[in-house]
Amino acid sequence: MHRVLTPADYRHATWKNGGGRTTEIAAYPSDAGLERFVWRASMADIQRNGPFSAFPGVDRTLVLLQGAGLVLTGVGEPLEVRAHYEPVNFSGDVSLECTLTEGPVRDFNLMIRRTQARGELVVVSGSAEAIAPARFQLCYSAVGVCECLRAGHVPLTLPEGNALVVESADTVPSALHVNPLSSDAVALVAAIDLIGGAG
Domain topology for 10-113: Jelly Rolls (2.60.120)
Dihedral of alpha carbons 198, 123, 159, 172, sign: negative
Contact assessment for residue 185 and residue 146, using Cβ atoms and an 8 Å cutoff: yes
- What does pLDDT average to over the chain? 92
CATH 2.60.120.10 correct for 117-194: yes
Which SS3 state, helix, strand or coil, does residue 165 take?
Answer: strand
Strand partners, 130: 177
Contact assessment for residue 128 and residue 189, using Cβ atoms and an 8 Å cutoff: no
Contact assessment for residue 52 and residue 58, using Cβ atoms and an 8 Å cutoff: no
Domain regions of the chain by residue span: 10-113, 117-194
What confidence score (pLDDT) does residue 128 get? Answer: 95
Candidates 183, 104, 92; CA nearest to 146 is: 183
What confidence score (pLDDT) does residue 18 get? Answer: 64
pTM for the structure as a whole: 0.93
- pLDDT tens, residue by residue, 28-60: 998 877 788 999 999 999 988 988 888 899 999
Q: What percent of the chain has pLDDT over 70?
A: 96
Same CATH topology for 10-113 and 117-194: the answer is: yes
Which SS3 state, helix, strand or coil, does residue 116 take?
Answer: coil
What confidence score (pLDDT) does residue 124 get? Answer: 98
What residues have CB less than 8 Å from 116, skipping those under 6 apart?
38, 194, 195, 196, 198, 199
Between CA 109 and CA 119 the distance in angstroms is 13
Contact assessment for residue 186 and residue 145, using Cβ atoms and an 8 Å cutoff: no
